[in-house]
Chain A
């Protein structure tokens, strides 16, 4: 008999970042009982790190903006592999979701006439990102948190879910443990919403914290759901590269939005050397036009630093590989140069980018108002994830929903900056609403004792072994391998060897041993997270191997161009009955005619 405590809710939400909190608020507004499980303390999820802003076509700064332009920008950025239903809903609903935050107490920077100010960002045609300096994510998560705590939602802080519980085809709850005492918990729920964020910890250099081990991806996969677009992992072009201990920490795109330029060790502004055809007629001809754009001249085009993240990251890698990098293996990002253009530039920079100033000053000893930063690509975001219905966010498993980074579809092959914060608001709300509706009609049956027993036995296995490997070593080896073989530049042979490597790591992970007891034991938690990391890593490698072309964030050195053959499907993986990972190509749904027109108009 397994010892555990049971909690019952209509809707169980796993994850308390922006998507989880927004889903919880919506579900509770529908009058159902809501539980939120989060791995860390409330308010610490990765949303807190988002800096630049939330994309919404409010048209406060440029009245030419509107949902159609935002939709077209998102589709273009995603290289048309996006779920267009989601892209349309997202573009139409984001403005309301942002205004709603203001009604809940969020304070955004203002325009002269007192409305929400918007800033430029990569891939967005007009200034579109509502922001608060460079700490927009903190403002958003705190607003949602402070609103949510008064809605009767039950929060389970520092709890981790290791398995979803099923009744036939339906998901009816989850099994997990509390960190503090290591006691088991069973959550019964009519509907479960995954809002667990990303998979960054599968890589060595990442902007993600320890939490982002692909839990939701893996939970859904093992419960029988489809994962889609897993080959598309966004490497943010600008992470810190020095000192070594901060390698990977994000440097906001807002630096480039405010005029920051990327320069190699010859002092060359190299982004002007390679502008993709899709963006030729939207990119500045020279530095002068680029500056006019970032200072609000509506007739100017954006500087090439504000091209999409996939492209900028590849250009940076090329400079570094060609020996034109900075001393610590990055390139230079210079915002200090704007002192040539405006008076009191240092003050302006500190005002517009306060946390970047703080971060570089305290962690690297660099004053960004006086000298350039060293930056390089860092694993940032998974475009791929749980395949969901665009309207309801329900996965291919009944009763299981997903929203935010863990869900796939909105971003296609590459996400635009600022579209993740709007994603989690728009689809967090939708997931909460539809999960509540589902739960009202589907009560949770009692959990199947056998599933609980299996989950408990699996969780305790690392304690039972007399000898075995340190889980940290396996995690580090996995991260090194993924970085090396399934990173920004990919080849067939590297990825095939990565799949062999993953099999070997899987054998090792079945033989971990942890020291100590169940109370707040990070070694144990690391051992349990390995299964998730291995699952998502395999999904990324298999999907990337199958896509023999380069598109968006996925770059194949052996197939460097886009191919029409691959333009018409998404890559989907799921668990076969023998437990192996099965891959299939799922044809894109034909896009609605009126949306085709919108895209054509905006590409003209």
Chain B
């Protein structure tokens, strides 16, 4: 059976270092299988996150040969196994141990985004009517599996560490899903401009490239949100109209 070598980050903090592990490779294997094999054979305390193993839960995010990817969706047959395969933890978040990072910041950011607020129900029985086309418009954003690869690759977070001022691509996708939700009446545009710091994004589209769900993050989520910010805050005519505009409809329960 052919064998391959995996160079994996081990340890935590200052003492973290690469360690090489060689293991058998069989047909159809993905990087996560190799990590599990190493765990069972020679490194039982090797820390990594995983759950579904089918690209649906977004737990096993890592950097493979320098690229942010899901380990469960990266087939060994797509990598050059004549060289060591390098597996590292995400870089935009504090390192915990081995391949695990502290991603709790993402959960805190999400919590501060204004939640879904529906319009009043359309029917007397308390239900709504929506067209499939309205639903389809936001499905792309709702596919997000929260793997945080987009956050990892975004230079505003990765290189400039603007975690306090910038929500990151994942949360712009989340905000877009809410803003374009057919029933939602909440207004998040001021927050996007303010505490979410959408202005920091300079549309390098790195997030779109790494998204395992193929969400067109920049073009479909971030740019339309930026346009809303511009319309609301910087367009002189809109600013004038806003003074006279009727208030948004009241929310339902």
Q: Which residues of A contact B (CB under 8 A)?
A: 40-46, 48-49, 99, 102-105, 107-110, 113-115, 117, 132-133, 135, 138-139, 142, 146-147, 149-150, 155, 157, 180, 209-211, 242-246, 249-250, 355, 358-359, 362-364, 470-473, 476, 514-517, 519-524, 526
> B6 to chain A: closest CB distance in Å?
15
> B193 to chain A: closest CB distance in Å?
22
Size of interface on B: residues with Cβ below 8 Å to A: 60
Pairs A-B, 3 closest by C-beta atoms: A243-B28, A523-B44, A516-B45
Residues of B contacting A242 in the complex (Cβ-Cβ under 8 angstroms): 28
Contact with A along B52-80 (1 / 0, CB 8 A): 11111111000000000000010100000
Q: List 22 A-B contacts (CB under 8 A).
A: A43-B146, A44-B52, A44-B58, A48-B56, A48-B145, A107-B142, A114-B130, A115-B129, A132-B139, A135-B143, A139-B142, A142-B142, A243-B28, A244-B26, A246-B53, A363-B54, A472-B39, A476-B40, A514-B45, A520-B47, A521-B45, A522-B39
Residues of A contacting B102 in the complex (Cβ-Cβ under 8 angstroms): 180
Q: Which residue in chain A gives the minimum CB-CB distance to B44? A: A523
In whole angstroms, how far apart are the Cα atoms of A155 and B126 in the complex?
31
User: Which of B109-117, B201-209, B221-229 makes up part of the contact surface?
Assistant: B109-117
Residues of A contacting B103 in the complex (Cβ-Cβ under 8 angstroms): 41
In whole angstroms, how far apart are the Cα atoms of A46 and B26 in the complex?
27
Q: Is B241 an interface residue (CB 8 A)?
A: no
> B133 to chain A: closest CB distance in Å?
9
> B235 to chain A: closest CB distance in Å?
29
B55 contacts A521, CB within 8 Å? no
B49 contacts A249, CB within 8 Å? no
Residues of A contacting B4 in the complex (Cβ-Cβ under 8 angstroms): none
B126 contacts A99, CB within 8 Å? yes
Q: Which residue in chain B gives the minimum CB-CB distance to A470? A: B44
A41 contacts B56, CB within 8 Å? no
In whole angstroms, how far apart are the Cα atoms of A306 and B28 in the complex?
30
Q: Which residue in chain B gives the minimum CB-CB distance to A180? A: B96
Task: Kindly identify which residue among A211, A246, A471, A516 contacts B51, using a CB–CB cutoff of 8 Å.
Answer: A211
In whole angstroms, how far apart are the Cα atoms of A355 and B213 in the complex?
9
B135 contacts A150, CB within 8 Å? no
In whole angstroms, how far apart are the Cα atoms of A224 and B152 in the complex?
46
Q: Which residue in chain B gives the minimum CB-CB distance to A523? A: B44
Task: Kindly identify which residue among A49, A471, A519 contacts B97, using a CB–CB cutoff of 8 Å.
Answer: A519
Residues of A contacting B46 in the complex (Cβ-Cβ under 8 angstroms): 522
In whole angstroms, how far apart are the Cα atoms of A110 and B135 in the complex?
8
> A200 to chain B: closest CB distance in Å?
12
> A472 to chain B: closest CB distance in Å?
4
> B84 to chain A: closest CB distance in Å?
20
Residues of B contacting A48 in the complex (Cβ-Cβ under 8 angstroms): 51-52, 56-57, 145
Task: Kindly identify which residue among B44, B51, B54 contacts A472, using a CB–CB cutoff of 8 Å.
Answer: B44
In whole angstroms, how far apart are the Cα atoms of A44 and B98 in the complex?
20
Q: Is B107 an interface residue (CB 8 A)?
A: yes
Q: Which residue in chain A gives the minimum CB-CB distance to B146? A: A43
Interface centre among B30, B50, B51, B96 (most CB of A within 10 A): B51
Q: Is B48 an interface residue (CB 8 A)?
A: yes
In whole angstroms, how far apart are the Cα atoms of A104 and B184 in the complex?
10
Q: Is B14 an interface residue (CB 8 A)?
A: no
Residues of B contacting A243 in the complex (Cβ-Cβ under 8 angstroms): 27-29
Mostly, the B contact residues are: loop
> B125 to chain A: closest CB distance in Å?
8
* Chain B residues numbered 88-143 whose CB sits less than 8 Å from any CB in chain A: 96-98, 100, 102-104, 107, 110-111, 115-116, 118, 121, 126-132, 135, 138-139, 142-143
Q: Is B163 an interface residue (CB 8 A)?
A: no
In whole angstroms, how far apart are the Cα atoms of A102 and B142 in the complex?
14
Q: Is B220 an interface residue (CB 8 A)?
A: no
A138 contacts B56, CB within 8 Å? yes
Q: Is B5 an interface residue (CB 8 A)?
A: no
B139 contacts A133, CB within 8 Å? yes
A150 contacts B115, CB within 8 Å? yes
The answer to whether A41 and B59 touch (CB under 8 A), given A149-B110, A249-B54, is yes
In whole angstroms, how far apart are the Cα atoms of A355 and B56 in the complex?
9
Task: Kindly identify which residue among A44, A102, A363, A519 contacts B127, using a CB–CB cutoff of 8 Å.
Answer: A102
> A157 to chain B: closest CB distance in Å?
7
The answer to whether A49 and B52 touch (CB under 8 A), given A107-B139, A142-B142, A149-B110, is yes
Residues of A contacting B12 in the complex (Cβ-Cβ under 8 angstroms): 519
In whole angstroms, how far apart are the Cα atoms of A472 and B40 in the complex?
6
In whole angstroms, how far apart are the Cα atoms of A103 and B48 in the complex?
36
> B231 to chain A: closest CB distance in Å?
24
Residues of B contacting A523 in the complex (Cβ-Cβ under 8 angstroms): 39, 44-45
> B127 to chain A: closest CB distance in Å?
6
In whole angstroms, how far apart are the Cα atoms of A107 and B135 in the complex?
6
B131 contacts A110, CB within 8 Å? yes
A363 contacts B50, CB within 8 Å? no
Q: Is B181 an interface residue (CB 8 A)?
A: yes
> B139 to chain A: closest CB distance in Å?
7
Residues of B contacting A135 in the complex (Cβ-Cβ under 8 angstroms): 56, 143
> A378 to chain B: closest CB distance in Å?
12
In whole angstroms, how far apart are the Cα atoms of A45 and B128 in the complex?
29
In whole angstroms, how far apart are the Cα atoms of A219 and B118 in the complex?
40
A363 contacts B135, CB within 8 Å? no
Q: Is B232 an interface residue (CB 8 A)?
A: no
Residues of B contacting A519 in the complex (Cβ-Cβ under 8 angstroms): 12, 47, 96-97
| Additional 20 contacts, C-beta under 8 A, given A209-B51, A245-B26, A516-B45 | A42-B107, A44-B58, A46-B52, A49-B52, A102-B128, A103-B118, A105-B181, A105-B183, A109-B135, A114-B128, A139-B142, A180-B100, A180-B102, A244-B27, A244-B29, A363-B28, A471-B44, A520-B96, A520-B97, A522-B48
In whole angstroms, how far apart are the Cα atoms of A142 and B138 in the complex?
14
Residues of A contacting B116 in the complex (Cβ-Cβ under 8 angstroms): 104-105, 146-147
A49 contacts B57, CB within 8 Å? yes
Task: Kindly identify which residue among A114, A520, A526 contacts B131, using a CB–CB cutoff of 8 Å.
Answer: A114
> A514 to chain B: closest CB distance in Å?
6
Residues of B contacting A142 in the complex (Cβ-Cβ under 8 angstroms): 142
Residues of A contacting B96 in the complex (Cβ-Cβ under 8 angstroms): 180, 519-520
Q: Which residue in chain B gives the minimum CB-CB distance to A99? A: B127
The answer to whether A245 and B33 touch (CB under 8 A), given A40-B51, A105-B118, is yes
In whole angstroms, how far apart are the Cα atoms of A131 and B33 in the complex?
31
The answer to whether A522 and B131 touch (CB under 8 A), given A40-B59, A210-B51, is no
Q: Which residue in chain A gives the minimum CB-CB distance to B33? A: A245
> B199 to chain A: closest CB distance in Å?
25
Residues of A contacting B128 in the complex (Cβ-Cβ under 8 angstroms): 102, 114
Residues of A contacting B183 in the complex (Cβ-Cβ under 8 angstroms): 105
B135 contacts A108, CB within 8 Å? yes
Q: Which residue in chain B gives the minimum CB-CB distance to A513? A: B44
The answer to whether A244 and B45 touch (CB under 8 A), given A49-B54, A107-B135, A146-B116, is no
Residues of A contacting B184 in the complex (Cβ-Cβ under 8 angstroms): 105
In whole angstroms, how far apart are the Cα atoms of A243 and B178 in the complex?
38
B132 contacts A110, CB within 8 Å? yes
Residues of B contacting A209 in the complex (Cβ-Cβ under 8 angstroms): 50-53, 57
Residues of B contacting A249 in the complex (Cβ-Cβ under 8 angstroms): 52-54
Residues of A contacting B44 in the complex (Cβ-Cβ under 8 angstroms): 470-472, 514-516, 521-523, 526
Interface centre among A149, A476, A517 (most CB of B within 10 A): A149
Contact with A along B7-36 (1 / 0, CB 8 A): 000001000000000000011111001000
Residues of B contacting A521 in the complex (Cβ-Cβ under 8 angstroms): 44-45, 47
